[in-house]
Structure 1
Amino acid sequence: MASPKISEALRQIAASDEKQKGYEALLSQFSAASSADLIAIIDAIFLDSLGIVVTRSLAIQFVQSLNNVASSDIKIEVGEHALNIFLAQASSFEEQNAQVRELMADAYESDEDYLSSAKVLSGIPLESSQRKVVNEDKVRFWIRITRNYLEVDDTTLAEQYLNKAKNLIYTVDDRDLNLHFKLSQARIQDARRNFLAAAQGYQDISFMTIVAEEERLHTLSMAIKCAVLAPAGPARSRALGRLYKDERATQLEEFGILEKMFLDRLLSAEEVEKFAEGLQVHQLAKTADGSTVLAKAVMEHNLRGASRLYSNIRFEALGLLLGLNGDKAEEATARMIEQGRLVGRIDQIEGIISFEGGEATGEKGSNRSEGVVGKEIRRWDSNVEGLAEEVEKVTSELQLRYPAFVAAHLMI
């Protein structure tokens, strides 16, 4: 219920012949009010049937008064009530509807209720004959909604609104908006575990001069984390190389693990555990096989590192290096070879994995890199063929010189 002061003022306005001036004076006089007072005022304005022009003018002033309220709770409560009133005449109050929704979104964000903020913003009409919205404002709304959904890890809806912005971002010159677009894109790729694309996106942002130096280093740090979490292979090696050559990387805590991965050195459990402390929740999530993204990335890296140290190794010995049993080590190796991320051969009968020199192509099912794979086999074939020819020559010579001996001992 409205306060006695506001109730009395509304009674006086109702009895007056100058209702518009009365409401304008009332809205301009108070600097603080309860939600009940504001609700009573807007109800009275719309019940008085003052005409669309006067009512819209008072609605504009009402929104300004609501904006001056400090309490987030009052903004949200009164805003919801105002939206229901505007809904009855939606086409006449689209601008006020949008303004109230923005005020409510600000209030929700100050309370860290990002999901509610995204939902209330998504109700703002951006395509209407009654309200002209330029491309830059559309992109700004969509990116704001995207960022709110990312705060609650809803990448599906975040990507949906980012895709809307993607269709218009090329028309926007605002550097801040372009920055937020790229950052949102990288965050979505990161959350979806498309770590190589995310690493590239974060690193690109780290070069942007409009970003503060501290934030640039932070995005570079995120780029390193994503590169480390990416599946081992030629593409990740290139990403690690770009980051390793970045002179700023030496300032970051992640440089130690970056260097070891770039140089294909084996990682210890202690190093991995320390690195994991700086990861986000989604980066530590478990995969379908029950292992974490980090554990899988480290295992594949150590497998790649082992291929640099050994020309061949037994399943059990490789499993000991990787922290797996022999069967799991064989399975992981076979998968990387089949996906073109590792060059080698598996002898299941002998239980031995042979690694080839050179770099894999990264092409699924290729198992070769510019003819490197198969080179050792061809060398063995050539040696066997040469040996067979020499044996044939010796046998022929024996037959010529000692036919009786050959007939007695070598012929079957």
Structure 2
Amino acid sequence: MDVDTDIASQLDSISSISNQKERTQSYLSLLTTLLSSSPPSSNGLITFGRHFTTSTSMAMVVGRRVLGSYVISLCAGTSMEKKGTSALPLDEDLTNDQPRLEELGQEAFSGEKGEEVRRDVVEGVLGGGGLSGWCDEQTTVLRHLHSHLLQLEEDWLGAAKALMQIPLEGTSRLISDEEKLAVYMKIVRLLLECGEWGLAQTHFSRASLFIHVTKDKVTNLSYKLSQARLFDFSARFNEAAQKYHEVSFDSAVAEEDRIQMLKAAVTTSILAPSGPQRSRVLAALNRDDRVHTSISPALVTMLRKMLLEYIVRQEEIKEFESSLEEHQRAKVEGGGTVLERAVREHNVNACGKVYDNISFEALGNILNLDADSAENTARRMIEQGRLRAWIDQPLHLLYFESRTAHDTDAEAQGTAGGLGIESKEKEIEPRLWSERWDDRIRETSTKVEALAEQIHQKGLIHVVPVA
């Protein structure tokens, strides 16, 4: 008879004992024997655990006491975070036994292959399916332990999936909103760690339903940081920059991490689509003294060029691109990367500070595009209200909206550049392109009539009467 069969036989024999106290002590005695062997048998411990987790006829008094002891011994010696982990319902006897069980568990899993055996046991108990509802508290703790063990191996996706198996809705056990929030936020952090931002967004939305219930500063900080990273992953760079900048002021964050958040804020602000919203974000960052003292000079130079609407050169783009994360190098519709699109749109606006109008061929040379692609870029920006200009299709020219005497480069740069004044963008009058075309024809006709009248008044044309 092999070891597993022998343990199964002992468990069946114990389950037939009518006296509950005697049955409990027999179960605990067998558990002690299994943990005392060196090294402990993973198959034996799995058989022991599943005897309880799959049982539908287990006496609650016996099951909770023995399975609680089993879970305590499995968790012993780990650095598993207790926050968001269901507390085991400890009766008086189990509370008294806890120090002995923890000592027994630490000794059992302290050997060379101890952690491997521990993980095999947890996976074996949870992986077979058919778990009974009466032991939800105990299996929930095991799922937290499974996630913790996978995190130690840097299996972030596996750790997140382990937590996803925890039943938070439609279960018999009472679950507080605080616990649900803690579990959802832990899942979000793990998914972001492995780049699964789509799945992370789903669980973040669930966490958003409970964030109002907590006053815990660490949880709120984790929520804000996760939101910033989700904005970053989903290419909503303006929102990401604002959130990163907000987190960088939080004193609960280590100084080194705050500088990293500030750097992330600058990076995402540069990647954001050109327009009034980005200008405000760039201005706020430029006014932050830490940017000029703690961030690399190359990044600061890129920030100021974007802020002051100076044309950015290709060599500067390449230097900045080397510091980007993988998702920030994603290809976008219309060709090129996120950075190339951001710089192209920025350079279009920068041209408006230098020229009154520019041909699409010349604009394409600046943007490193052909004339048609340059026109499409300008048209999209105009349609989205991010460029004050209009297009002369027949002449293939881009006309920038005329600036008033007060709308000079000095003012534009000063108001955006850190004098404490936010530049206010004037709304572009919504007019159809056909109306703009009619106005140009009307203006040209008026000039022709005026010129003809002057020629006639000076007698430069002699009208010969028709016979």
Aligned to 1:38: 45
Q: Structure 1 residues 316, 394: closer, same or farther in 2, change over 3 A?
A: closer
Tell me how far 1:55 sits from its aligned partner: 1.9
* Equivalent position SS for 2:323: coil
Summarize the alignment of residues 298-337 of structure 1 with structure 2, pairs less than 5 Å apart.
298-337=343-382
Tell me how far 1:397 sits from its aligned partner: 8.1
Given residue 204 of structure 1, which amino acid in structure 2 is its aligned partner? Answer: E
Are 1:116 and 2:158 an aligned pair? yes
Aligned to 2:67: 59
Tell me how far 1:44 sits from its aligned partner: 6.0
Check the 8 A contact 2:8/2:47 in 1, yes or no: no
Aligned to 2:395: 350
Structure 2 CA distance for aligned equivalents of residues 45 and 302 of structure 1? 68
Check the 8 A contact 1:9/1:26 in 2, yes or no: no
Are 1:20 and 2:20 an aligned pair? no
* Equivalent position SS for 2:325: coil
Gaps of 5+ in 2: 77-108, 408-422
Q: Structure 1 residues 351, 134: closer, same or farther in 2, change over 3 A?
A: same
Summarize the alignment of residues 40-189 of structure 1 with structure 2, pairs less than 5 Å apart.
40-42=47-49, 51-68=59-76, 69=109, 71-83=114-126, 88=130, 90-127=132-169, 130-189=172-231
Given residue 126 of structure 2, which amino acid in structure 1 is its aligned partner? Answer: L
Tell me how far 1:157 sits from its aligned partner: 1.8
Q: Structure 1 residues 223, 32: closer, same or farther in 2, change over 3 A?
A: farther
* Equivalent position SS for 2:301: helix
Aligned to 2:94: none
Check the 8 A contact 2:188/2:226 in 1, yes or no: yes
Q: Structure 1 residues 109, 298: closer, same or farther in 2, change over 3 A?
A: same
Structure 1 CA distance for aligned equivalents of residues 172 and 8 of structure 2? 36
Structure 2 CA distance for aligned equivalents of residues 246 and 222 of structure 1? 14
Tell me how far 1:211 sits from its aligned partner: 0.9
* Equivalent position SS for 2:353: helix
Check the 8 A contact 1:183/1:205 in 2, yes or no: yes
Gaps of 5+ in 1: none
Aligned to 1:191: 233
Structure 2 CA distance for aligned equivalents of residues 381 and 150 of structure 1? 58
Check the 8 A contact 2:228/2:243 in 1, yes or no: yes
Higher relative contact order (CA closer than 8 Å, sequence separation 6+)? 2
Summarize the alignment of residues 243-322 of structure 1 with structure 2, pairs less than 5 Å apart.
243-250=285-292, 251-253=294-296, 254-322=299-367
Q: Percent sequence identity over matched residues?
A: 32
CA RMSD of aligned residues (A): 3.8
CA deviation string 1:223-259 (max 9, x = no partner): 1111111111111111111111111111212212111
Structure 2 CA distance for aligned equivalents of residues 274 and 368 of structure 1? 39
Given residue 263 of structure 1, which amino acid in structure 2 is its aligned partner? Answer: L
Given residue 276 of structure 1, which amino acid in structure 2 is its aligned partner? Answer: E
Given residue 108 of structure 1, which amino acid in structure 2 is its aligned partner? Answer: L
Check the 8 A contact 1:343/1:369 in 2, yes or no: no
Equivalent residues, number: 398
Check the 8 A contact 1:344/1:353 in 2, yes or no: yes
Structure 1 CA distance for aligned equivalents of residues 53 and 452 of structure 2? 109
CA deviation string 1:7-41 (max 9, x = no partner): 69969x95998442243345456396241232243
Greater displacement, 34-43 / 114-123: 34-43
Q: Structure 1 residues 248, 9: closer, same or farther in 2, change over 3 A?
A: farther
Tell me how far 1:135 sits from its aligned partner: 1.4
Tell me how far 1:346 sits from its aligned partner: 2.2
Structure 2 CA distance for aligned equivalents of residues 390 and 296 of structure 1? 46
Q: Structure 1 residues 301, 109: closer, same or farther in 2, change over 3 A?
A: same
Structure 2 CA distance for aligned equivalents of residues 141 and 350 of structure 1? 61
Structure 2 CA distance for aligned equivalents of residues 229 and 109 of structure 1? 32
So what's the TM-score if we normalise by structure 2? Answer: 0.74
Check the 8 A contact 1:341/1:361 in 2, yes or no: no
CA deviation string 1:296-350 (max 9, x = no partner): 1111111211221112222222211111122222221222122211112222322
Q: Structure 1 residues 290, 245: closer, same or farther in 2, change over 3 A?
A: same
* Equivalent position SS for 2:273: coil
Structure 2 CA distance for aligned equivalents of residues 196 and 393 of structure 1? 56
Aligned to 2:414: none
Aligned to 1:338: 383
Check the 8 A contact 2:389/2:401 in 1, yes or no: yes
Greater displacement, 119-128 / 282-291: 119-128
Q: Structure 1 residues 45, 34: closer, same or farther in 2, change over 3 A?
A: same
Structure 1 CA distance for aligned equivalents of residues 286 and 215 of structure 2? 32
So what's the TM-score if we normalise by structure 1? Answer: 0.83
Structure 1 CA distance for aligned equivalents of residues 23 and 191 of structure 2? 44
Given residue 60 of structure 2, which amino acid in structure 1 is its aligned partner? Answer: I
Tell me how far 1:46 sits from its aligned partner: 7.4
Greater displacement, 348-357 / 303-312: 348-357
* Equivalent position SS for 1:115: helix
* Equivalent position SS for 2:398: strand
Q: Structure 1 residues 26, 336: closer, same or farther in 2, change over 3 A?
A: same
Structure 2 CA distance for aligned equivalents of residues 287 and 45 of structure 1? 54
Structure 2 CA distance for aligned equivalents of residues 44 and 232 of structure 1? 63
Check the 8 A contact 1:203/1:219 in 2, yes or no: yes
Structure 2 CA distance for aligned equivalents of residues 273 and 407 of structure 1? 68
**Residue of structure 2 aligned with 1:219, choices 234, 251, 261:** 261
